[in-house]
Every structure is written in structure tokens, then in C-alpha cells.
Chain A
Amino acid sequence: MKNVLGIVNFESNYVKVKGLDDYRPISAASFLGRYRVVDFCISNFTNSGIQNLKVLIKNRPRSLVEHIHATNYNVNGKKGKIHLLYGEREYTDQIYNTDIASLSANMDYIEGSDAAYVVVAPAHFIYTQDFSEIVEFTKEKGNDITVLYQPTDNADKEFLMGDVVVMDKNQKVERFTRQRGRIKDVNVSLETYCMKKDLFVELIKKAEKTSSLYTLSNIISDVAKDLNVIGYKHKGFCACINSLQAYYDASMHLRDDKHMHGFINEDWPIYTMTNDSCPTLFKEGGRAVGSIVGNGSSIEGKVINSIISRNVVIKKGAVVKDSIVLPNAVIEEDAHIEYAVVDRFAKVSDIQQIIGEADDPVYIKKGDRI
């Protein structure tokens, strides 16, 4: 896949992950105790043999800049590259901070690339996909644009505000509509596109002229009626992390050993940055069932059906149930949490039980003392 440029797009403006995105873009949020959300997208590229990547970043870039290095993602040190593209302009309002604005601010690096094709994939989707299949499909069929989609029967709860792909029987996209959750069975767009680089450049320029608020999805939607836009069906698990609930649900689904090992395995590893933490120590009385546990943690309480990230301390008598605990958080003695997402460095004591609900988890702020 030497002549393919990979672009990791930032999350769309409809993404609102309560609490978590106050501190970092959702793509930089910790996931499954060990990864960050963006690792899935980048690993898809590098596992597909696409070694030349541009990662678009918008506000609060610190955690992404720190995390994304070519050496972490099995990229060839000489022939590959991961390039972070930061939109140079200052925006008074986030609605102007679109992928098109960012791409056009960095147009030299896109136009100057000698790649013939581009694959664009969003950082806030969790799925695995061999992109080389999509590139081959695009070339073979002579599609102008290939768009990755997935049928869902759960559209009243998932993928909200994304795009629905409406296709004829030959998979030709007739139009895109907004996913407002009114119909349960739809084909949702994974906002992942493959096209010739020249067309990509042309679309960016066209979008910029059309409206300052336009996104890549908007312009592709506009041109769908004139161009040959073809759907490519994705198989397997897929989640769009567009809300705290979606983040919680995707985490809890993959918490199941069978789901996770069907999704991530030796043939499709997910790369991330190592933290050099020691293994997790379950002390006398420390228990866990049905859980994912990150390294460097020390567990003396009970962990039930939860995700414990790295360097977490769970003290004696504490109970963590159906919850996600992010790195470096401390659950103090006899504290009790259920259906909660505890952000990094938070300390939860036994003063008050924290109990959320499966369809409305409680969020504990980063560094908070409770």
C-alpha cells in the first residue's frame, strides 16, 4: 500500500462525551484499560500496510501529541511516517473548527504527497478493518468514492447524529441522511472513505467554497448524486464513541473475553504506547471477576464486571462494580461504586456510595476528591 495516504480524521462536532471531553479529545481517552481510542484507527492503517499517515488534531492536542509516535505503531522508521496536522487558525467558535478547515490549512502536505489514493478514517470509531481491501475494491470497480458502512438494528440508541447511507441494490449511494434515531434498522456510515487523492483535494477546495462550516461528510453527501459513490460493508464489531453512554457500552461489550479476543488478536494487534508499569498485584483479599485489568494496579478490594486501567489503586473493602476506572485513580477503603466512570487521578472515598445506572453511568471528574 505504498501509494496510499492515510488520514486519521478528528471527531465530528456531534460528538459530546460528557466529562471525558472536558479534558481531552475523545480520541485520546483511555480505552479498555490499556489503549487510547485513536489506537484502533491508527492500528487499522498500519496493519493494512499503510505507512504514511496524517493525523488531524484540533483543540487540546497535548495528550495526542504525547501519545502518537511512529515507533509505537509498528511504522517503518525510514519509509513510513506519522504526521500530526494541526489547523493553524484560531477559532472563536468550535463550529468553525472542521476537518475541511484543518485539511485546507495543511493543503501543501496533502497535495504534495505522491500517493495516488487516500483513505480517511475517523478517530472516534472503534472497529477493525483491513483498508487495503477497500483500496483494491475502489481500484477494481473504478469507484469515485468508497464509503464504509455497517447495518445496525440498534440505531435508536447507537450512532446517533452520524450519517445514514441510502443505497440502491448495487450498493451505489443515492444519498446520505442524518441518523436521528427514528428508525432502528439502517445502514450507518463509518465515515471512512477511499478515493483518488486528486478527487480528495478537489472536494476539500469545493467544500471550503461552499461553506465555512462544511465537513468532509457534508461535501461527500453533496456530490453523491453526481459521482459514483459505492458502499462497502463492514463486518464485525463497531462502535461510534459519540457520548459517555456509547463509551461505556463499547467498553462493557469488549470487557467480555470472547468479544475482545474475537476483535483483537495476534493477526490484528492494536498498538499503543507502553507505560512500563509492573504487573497488577492482587493482594490478600483482592478479587476480580468478569473484568479487564490494566498493569501497574494494586487491588485489595473487589472488582466485578469492570474495567480497571493502569496504575489504579483499589483499597481494602472497596467494591467496584460495572464501572470504568481510568488510570491513576484511587478507590479508597470501603468505597462503593457501581455504574460509574471515574476519570484519571480521582480519589473516591467511602463518604458516599456512587451508584449510577446501566443506561446512565455516573461520571467522576478528573482529579476529583469524593
Chain B
Amino acid sequence: MKKNNMVAMILAGGRGSRLYDLTKKVAKPAVYFGGKYRIIDFALSNCANSNISTVGVLVQYESIELGSYVSKESIWGLDMLGGGTYVLSPREKDNEGFSAFRGTADAITQNLDFLDQEEAEYVLVLSGDHIYKMNYEKMLKKHIETGAEATIAVLEVDLKDATRFGIMNTNEDDEIIEFEEKPAHPKSNLASMGVYIFSYKTLRKYLKADDKNENSNHDFGKDIIPQYIKDGKKLQAYRFRGYWKDVGTIDSLWESNMDLLSEDNDLNLFDKTWKIYTEDSISTPQCIGENAEINNALITQGCQVDGKVEHSVIFTGARIDEGAIVKDSVVMNNCHIGKGAKLTRCLVQDGVNVPAGLILGKKDSKDILLVSKQVVAKAGDQ
């Protein structure tokens, strides 16, 4: 039995080019996070925990790893009859030929047949690259109660940061009267989280119209939402309180990992009532060696730590040899940090071997150093 008639559509087609080598071969939502997860586990687990049974994942850029991962629907308990995860990639169609997704809205437009077939009444549009925990079922309840055509989740940010976000200006009932993308002089501090609930009938009409509009970018923020406002459709803001982070850059990805090290971080991965699910790695238990020195770290299954780890996050299967020092860093899956190597303020890409004795990163560096195979090779030459 379907628990509600809301279908989730996760936008997961982007490259995330500001993650550089991390997204050279995988799409951003498939990038590893938080020791044992992938970024998209958060959106998928939120869907599962919010009793959503049908989830479409819109893929485009480097989709092999991402697509095969999200297809394993049992990981998130999304494997019940009548539900599931559906990998939706650009496809050739009768009479229309083949076209890539032209924008976030177009990705949905090209899959209206899927939403028709699922008999969606409401459509939840999400980004596959945000780290947060959110109950979409509560948001749907609010959407229905207010009778809005669309409900947009918003986060209160510091006014000085508001220039970086899409900002919603609202009236006293939290109805959205204006939308400004990265305003120079923000009038409100309500930032869009990129989480939308649409009543499907209306959305369908707007997407069909947008499809024909040659001047459109086919984007939710730039085109669809402004059009709703222009036409006086009721748009509701839904205030979210809690941890939310767009991990679009190396610095923000690093920072979001570091947030997990503070004692009572808002994300609280320990919460048993809202677990974040991920694929089990069938690795050995975590081994902390005789020479290990650990202080404030997040370490997971399959790791072998015999060096010094301070204020760092160590991902599945990583090895840190005796005498190595890892400080204020993120070490991704199956990395090997050799004897006496020293990493400070680094983010080490998965699978990278840092040879013995190599020193990378600086204590007071402005930016976090992304350590890829190329960076290691270059450092070795010097």
C-alpha cells in the first residue's frame, strides 16, 4: 500500500564542478560523505523516513556509479511493492528524439510521463547534494493545510550570508510574495533549500508551458517559481530548523564533515528514530593499532589506524600507518596514508595513497587542500 501519493524527484544530474577531481568520474550526489555515506543517502533516507515510497532520481552527468547505487532500493527500505527508486536519465522518445536535460525544470518536464504513470498528486522536488535531515511528510501536511500550489522549504540564514542564496520574501502568513536569486540587498533572511512540494496538476501545466518558452532557462528558481508568483498562485514558505548544508565546494564539503565532530552537532547521526541508510561495505571491523593516538575523530568500519588522528573524519577502509599524522582533515574511502606522512587541513580523495613521509597542507591555510592522485604525484616530483 502506498502511504501517500507524493512522488519524490531527486535532481542528481549535475556535475558539481567546484568539487574538481572528486567529480571527475562520479556525479556529485555519489561523492562520499561522513565516514560511511554518500551525499545522496541523506535525500534518499529522508524520503524513506518520510514514508515516501516512489523516488525518481534524475541523472545525467557520469551516471553509472550513481545510477547503479540508487537502484539498490532495499538499502533505504524503498523496496516495497508499488514503490521503488527509478533512475531517470535522458532518453530518446518517439517523435521528440533525444535531448539532454536543459535545466532542473526540464528534467521533470521530460519525465511527466513517469509522474502520470505513478498517478502523482503531489511532487516533491529535491536536490541530491544537500546534507540535512527533514521530514517531508510534515511539509506535505502543511502544503495541504494551507492550500498552496507550491510549498518551498526555507532556512533562516544570517542576513550577511543571504546574498549567496535564493531568498524568499514573505508576508506575515509566510506566503511568498517575491523571490530573489542571490540579491545584493536582501530584504529577508529566508533562504530556499531547494526543497519544493508542488500540487501536480498545476505543476504539469506550468512545465508544459515552460517547455515551449524559448526564452526560458527551464529552471525552477529562475523560471517556474517566478512564473507562479507572477500569476498570483499561492506559494507557501515552510520554515525548517536544523542542520542543512550545500556541500558544493571542497571547503564546504570539508566543513560539513568537520561539523560531525562537535559533540552535539545538529545533524546527530546517532538518532535512531531518523537513521541515514547506506550500503554496507562488508569490511572488517575498525582496528585501532598499538601505536594509534586518537583525539576527536569520526572513524568507521574497515579502517586501520595506527597513526595519530586529530580532529578528522576517516572513511571506510582507510589505512593510516604508524607515525602518520592526520589533523583537521577528511580521509576518504580506501586511502592509505604512509608512515610518517603528515596531513593538515586536507581532503584526501578516495583511493589515494599518500606515500610515507609526504607532508601536505598547512595549519593556517585559507583553503582546504584537495589531495588527489595528481597532487600526490606532483608533490612527489618536487
Contact = CB atoms under 8 A, between A and B. Distances in A.
Interface in A261-301: 261, 264-265, 269-271, 274, 276, 278-296, 298
Given A32-B285, A278-B36, A288 B298 contact: no
Given A34-B301, A257-B306, A296-B270, A282 B286 contact: no
A56 to B, nearest CB: 25
Nearest to A291: B288
A280 B296 contact: no
Contacts of A279: 34-36, 269, 298-301, 313
Given A278-B35, A278-B276, A289 B287 contact: no
Given A278-B276, A279-B299, A293 B284 contact: no
Contacts of A291: 287-288
A260 interface: yes
B294 interface: yes
A162 interface: no
Contacts of A290: 288-290, 292
A280 B286 contact: yes
A361 interface: no
B282 A289 contact: no
Interface in B254-295: 260-261, 263, 269-270, 275-278, 280, 282-295
A280 B294 contact: no
A25 interface: no
Contacts of A32: 285
Nearest to A74: B282
B296 A282 contact: yes
B127 interface: no
Contacts of A87: none
Given A279-B36, A280-B299, A295-B36, A264 B276 contact: no
Interface string A319-352: 0000000000000000000000000000000000
B258 to A, nearest CB: 13
Contacts of A260: 284-285, 287
B236 interface: no
Interface residues of B, number: 37
Given A34-B301, A257-B306, A279-B35, A289 B296 contact: no
B286 A284 contact: no
Contact of A292 (B280, B288, B291): B288
Contacts of A298: 270
Nearest to B283: A269
Nearest to A285: B295
Interface string A90-125: 000000000000000000000000000000000000
Interface in A151-175: none
B328 to A, nearest CB: 14
B297 to A, nearest CB: 5
A284 B295 contact: yes
B36 A264 contact: no
A261 B284 contact: yes
A298 B261 CA distance: 11
Nearest to A280: B299
Interface string B17-34: 000000000000000001
Most buried by A among B261, B269, B299: B299
Interface residues of A, number: 36
B304 interface: yes
Contacts of A303: 288
A33 interface: yes
Contact of B263 (A265, A274, A280, A284): A284
Contact of B261 (A281, A285, A292): A281
B289 A257 contact: yes
Most buried by B among A257, A271, A278, A280: A278
B289 A287 contact: no
B285 A293 contact: yes
A298 B263 CA distance: 10
A261 B304 contact: yes
A276 B285 contact: no
A197 B36 CA distance: 44
Contacts of B299: 279-280, 282, 293
A252 to B, nearest CB: 13
Contacts of B313: 279
B264 to A, nearest CB: 10
Contacts of A283: 263, 296
A345 to B, nearest CB: 14
Contacts of B288: 288-293, 303
Interface string B103-146: 00000000000000000000000000000000000000000000
Contacts of A282: 294-299
Contacts of A286: 294-296
A35 B282 CA distance: 11
Contacts of B287: 257, 260-261, 291-292
Contacts of B283: 269
A276 B289 contact: no
B294 A288 contact: yes
Contacts of A284: 263, 295-296
Nearest to A287: B294
A329 to B, nearest CB: 15
Nearest to A33: B285
Contacts of A278: 34-36, 269-270, 276
Interface string B300-325: 11001010000001000000000000
A18 to B, nearest CB: 24
Interface string B33-71: 011100000000000000000000000000000000000
B301 A295 contact: yes
A130 to B, nearest CB: 18
Contact of B282 (A33, A261, A269): A269
Contacts of A35: 285
B294 A292 contact: no
A295 B300 contact: yes
14 contacts: A32-B285, A264-B284, A278-B35, A279-B269, A280-B298, A280-B299, A281-B260, A281-B261, A283-B296, A285-B295, A289-B289, A292-B285, A293-B299, A294-B301
Given A257-B304, A298-B270, 9 more contacts: A34-B284, A261-B304, A281-B297, A282-B298, A283-B263, A288-B292, A289-B293, A290-B289, A294-B286
